[in-house]
Amino acid sequence: MLGLFRLAVRNALRHKLRTGLTVLGIIVATMAFGLLRTVVDAWYAGADATSANRLVTRNAISLMFDLPLSYRNKIRQAEGVESVSYANWFGGIYIDEKNFFPQFAIDAASYLDLYPEYILSEEEKRAFMRDRQGAIAGRKLAEEYGWKVGDIIPIRGTIYAGNWSFVLRGIYRGADKKTDQTQFFFHWDNLNETVKKREPNRADKVGVYIVSIRDSGRAAEISKEIDAVFANSLAETLTETEKAFQLGFVAMTEAIVIAIEIVSIVIIGIIMAVMANTMAMSARERVREYATMKALGFGPRHLVVLIFAESLTISLSAALAGIALIFPAADFFASKVGTLFPVFNVSEQTLWMAFAAATCIGVVAAVFPAWRAATGSITKGLGSIG
């Protein structure tokens, strides 16, 4: 068998240019496949990083509408609720519109309790809590704009008009790779007091409540209970798990995700055709050699092994190179898109999928030539000019 593999490898290297181009094609395809899968993963990263013990309560009409601050205490009284925090989407512009990153006004003490995955040093946390003008930012965000603790961050309001400025009091890091480290948080009280002066009727309004529950198994029940409290009121609520809430955002852009997924599969399909063509060309040229081997006593099974070994040698060696290149490609991509994807990691699953795709390419490309070689007539094969 070892001798057959030697022959398979020699056959694979026979036409250097043809095999080289095919290998290059598979490398690029594998890399592109891995990159696209990583983009798809990044899209769902927000939902992946959620906790099953957190619910989000928002206005039932849409996220564009807010809820009264007074709901906080009522939500807290619901059975099974441990604590409640709240946040408002600020949506301001930092210097230029292209500098997008999420900004939230939060009830800092309760919010940071609910999100232990945002890790701040005690010192920075204290400094942030003490300073009404204070803000904290994720590590990636701070790196992107070169912020240091103590910097003044000017932000132009859009939803909340006017110019705002914050003092960076801390830089948080994520508890794990899934944690979003591109967010910007400041005090809700700061927002509310300023709004009270500028647009009094918009004061004491909350964007979303974040509800921590003791038993994640009862999430549906507790959500229903909370929404029942506010049924038939002026602002009805919709409570769902944090995951469902995050997936709601993804759903808006799902068509793009599906398009990317289709493209990633099409790439594999195309390279499969290229590889199949390479193998078919080789097999056609070797009809006489395969017939000779059969005459010498090699059975159909030997030829199947020989041809699959050649095809898989090409596809898997190229795929390994392509897989190795996914990492630099992903890094490059991530550096180009900045904080658009808060979490951009090549997952192990993506690597396995790329490997599986390459195996598929090798197998599919070998099926027809192997079948032809195994079943072809020896006498006709010997008569053919190779």
Partner 1 sequence: MTNPIVEIRNLSKSYRRGDQIIPVLTDISLTIDEGDFLALMGPSGSGKSTLMNLIAGIDTPDSGSIRVAGVDIAALSESALAAWRANHIGFVFQFYNLMPVLTAYENVELPLLLTALSRRERKERAELVLDLVGLTDRMDHYPSQLSGGQQQRVAIARALVADPTMIVADEPTGDLDRVSAEEILALAERLNMELGKTIIMVTHDQRAAAKAHCIRHLDKGVLDEVVETMD
Site residues, partner 1 (CB under 8 A): 1, 3-4, 6-7, 10-11, 14, 288-289, 292-302, 378-379, 382
Min CB(320)–partner 1 separation in Å: 23
The answer to whether residues 148 and 105 touch, using CB atoms and an 8 Å cutoff, is no
Q: Label residue 9 exposed, middle or buried (CB < 10 Å: 0-12, 13-18, 19+).
A: middle
Cβ–Cβ under 8 Å, residues 382 and 288: yes
For residue 348, count CB atoms less than 10 angstroms from its CB and return exposed for 0-12, middle for 13-18, buried for 19 or more. Answer: exposed
Q: How far is the CB of 251 from partner 1 (least distance, A)?
A: 55
| Residue with smaller CB distance to partner 1, 6 or 224 | 6
* Minimum CB distance to partner 1 smaller for 10 or for 218: 10
In the complex with partner 1, the residue whose CB is nearer, 207 or 381, is 381
Q: Measured from the CB atom, is 270 or 378 closer to partner 1? A: 378
- Beta-carbon contacts of 9 under 8 Å, excluding residues fewer than 6 positions away, are 309, 310, 313
Half-sphere exposure of 127 (CA within 13 A, CB side): 15
Least distance (Å) from partner 1 to the CB of residue 319?
23
Q: Whole-number minimum distance, CB 2 to partner 1, in Å?
A: 8
CB of 22 to partner 1, least distance (A): 17
Closest CA to 320 of 362, 272, 368: 362
What is the C-alpha separation between 368 and 372, in angstroms, rounded? 6
Which residues face 238 on adjacent strands? 58
CA–CA separation, 165 and 170 (whole Å): 15
Distance of alpha carbon 379 from alpha carbon 342, whole angstroms? 64
| Closer residue to partner 1 in complex, CB, 174/376 | 376
Bridge partners (DSSP) listed for residue 29: none
CA distance linking residue 82 with residue 239, whole number of Å:
15
Tokens of 100: 């997008």
**What minimum distance in Å lies between the beta carbon of 21 and partner 1?**
19
Cβ proximity to partner 1, 11 vs 30, nearer residue: 11
116 vs 297, beta carbon nearer partner 1:
297
Tokens of 256: 């793009």
Q: How far is the CB of 372 from partner 1 (least distance, A)?
A: 15
